[in-house]
Amino acid sequence: MLKRFSLPIVAVFAVMLVSGPSCSAAPFSGEALSDEAGWHCTADASRAGWTLLALPQAGSPYSPLVKQSHGVITSWNVRVGSGLSPLAQQLGVFRAVNGGAEYTKVAESAIETFGVGSEQLPTRIPVQAGDFIGLHGPLETFVCDGEGSGSSALFEGGIALGETKAFKAESGVRSPGAAIVELDADGDGYGDASQDRCPESAVFQTTCPLVALSIGEVTVKRNAILIEAGNNTEASLTARGEVRWRVPPQAGDRTAHLSKGRQVRVGLGTVAPKTVTPGVTAVLRVPLPKSVLAQLDRRLPRQALQARIDVVGTNRVPYTGTHELKIRLPGRAKPQERR
């Protein structure tokens, strides 16, 4: 258990400040965190064993491409028209190779059954910009066969994950498969809008932990201040600070009676970072410069200096927290040694 501040050290002020990064990755459409990939058509037929890969069409507001950024498919659906029986379908993600002459299947969903009125089904499939979505049914594949112009890439048969196949163009047919693609700013494979509650860090998918520094015993040694510190999660701790005092006006200064003297500020430097884990503390050694030691040697115990030290913790999000300490440094001179 951490101890309270030990005498003769007095922390007259302590405050905790927390800050963190903002998400700066490029969004998908405008400021949205997600886009829909697919042709937005409704199936009116099916074909035995087809793997249908939708191709871009100029001027269409819909696209089978993951358009602007890497991301994660978080759900998918197959729009099925009335009069069609339910069918098992599988979403595939394909990547063009050899200049677009062939496509490699790089990811796939579980096989799901879709019928009229089917809802979005959750999944988690990381994708890259420029990937295509395709659809395949083990028995038959739903298609949009009567909704105007359009073309798709067709392979007659199933494609195993990792296989590369040459597709042929199939005019007048489109795929009714659609997928929601969410931004993945930290690249952890979880969609930022619905799956990742900490999009600033690939380490966490739950709520990003804030820095909660704990300060234990603070001790002034001859040449340094020792500060015991910990944090609620794994973090890197360091400390920095300064000591201030005033130099009295020089003799003969006509305005000496109006002046408080010149202020001197001496930095204590930055302590090398130390890593702590929950329940484990580290002792930060803040060295006292020679100029501060000299001042303490000239002062009686009641003529104390004050050190202002910031203990800074940075966790793995990374969020940063600062605990500010004001520490009394008693003078060290004995009455007969005062100069």
198 in a domain, yes or no? no
Considering the domain architecture, whether residues 236 and 313 belong to the same structural domain is answered as yes
Q: For residue 233, give its domain range.
A: 11-22+205-337
Considering the domain architecture, whether residues 16 and 65 belong to the same structural domain is answered as no
Considering the domain architecture, whether residues 108 and 18 belong to the same structural domain is answered as no
303 in a domain, yes or no? yes
Considering the domain architecture, whether residues 74 and 212 belong to the same structural domain is answered as no
Give residues with Cβ within 8 angstroms of 265, minimum separation 6: 242, 243, 244
Asked if residues 285 and 224 have their Cβ atoms less than 8 Å apart, the reply is yes
Structural domain ending residue among the three candidates 183, 217, 236: 183
The residue among 201, 203, 236, 228 whose CA lies nearest residue 315 is 236
2 in a domain, yes or no? no
For 275-293, what is the mean pLDDT? Answer: 95
Give the H or E element holding residue 89. Answer: strand 87-97
Considering the domain architecture, whether residues 55 and 102 belong to the same structural domain is answered as yes
Query: Residue 74 carries which side chain, given as an amino acid letter?
Result: T
188 in a domain, yes or no? no
Considering the domain architecture, whether residues 64 and 16 belong to the same structural domain is answered as no
Give pLDDT tens digits for 123-179: 999 999 888 899 999 999 999 987 655 678 889 999 999 999 999 988 888 889 999
Task: Look at residue 25 and tell me whether its pLDDT is greater than 50.
Answer: no
Domain count, the chain: 2
1 in a domain, yes or no? no
Considering the domain architecture, whether residues 209 and 114 belong to the same structural domain is answered as no
Quick one: tokens of 129?
């910009």
CATH of the domain at 215: 2.60.40
245 in a domain, yes or no? yes
Considering the domain architecture, whether residues 18 and 38 belong to the same structural domain is answered as no
Task: Look at residue 256 and tell me whether its pLDDT is greater than 80.
Answer: no
Considering the domain architecture, whether residues 17 and 47 belong to the same structural domain is answered as no
Asked if residues 309 and 293 have their Cβ atoms less than 8 Å apart, the reply is no
319 in a domain, yes or no? yes
Give the residue with greater pLDDT, 324 vs 68.
324
Considering the domain architecture, whether residues 18 and 39 belong to the same structural domain is answered as no
Quick one: tokens of 155?
């392979």
Cα(54)–Cα(173) distance, rounded to whole angstroms?
9
Residue 199: which pLDDT band, with cuts at 50, 70 and 90? confident
Structural domain ending residue among the three candidates 126, 153, 183: 183
Considering the domain architecture, whether residues 179 and 210 belong to the same structural domain is answered as no
Question: What does the pLDDT read at residue 6?
Answer: 37
Three-state secondary structure call for residue 288: coil
User: Other C-beta atoms within 10 Å of 329: how many?
Assistant: 21
User: What does R_g of the chain's alpha carbons equal in angstroms?
Assistant: 33
Give residues with Cβ within 8 angstroms of 183, minimum separation 6: 25, 27, 28, 33, 34, 69, 71, 191, 192, 193, 199
Structural domain ending residue among the three candidates 183, 215, 240: 183
230 in a domain, yes or no? yes
Angle at alpha carbon of residue 136, lines to 130 and 140, rounded to 5°: 155
Considering the domain architecture, whether residues 165 and 286 belong to the same structural domain is answered as no
Average pLDDT, the chain: 84
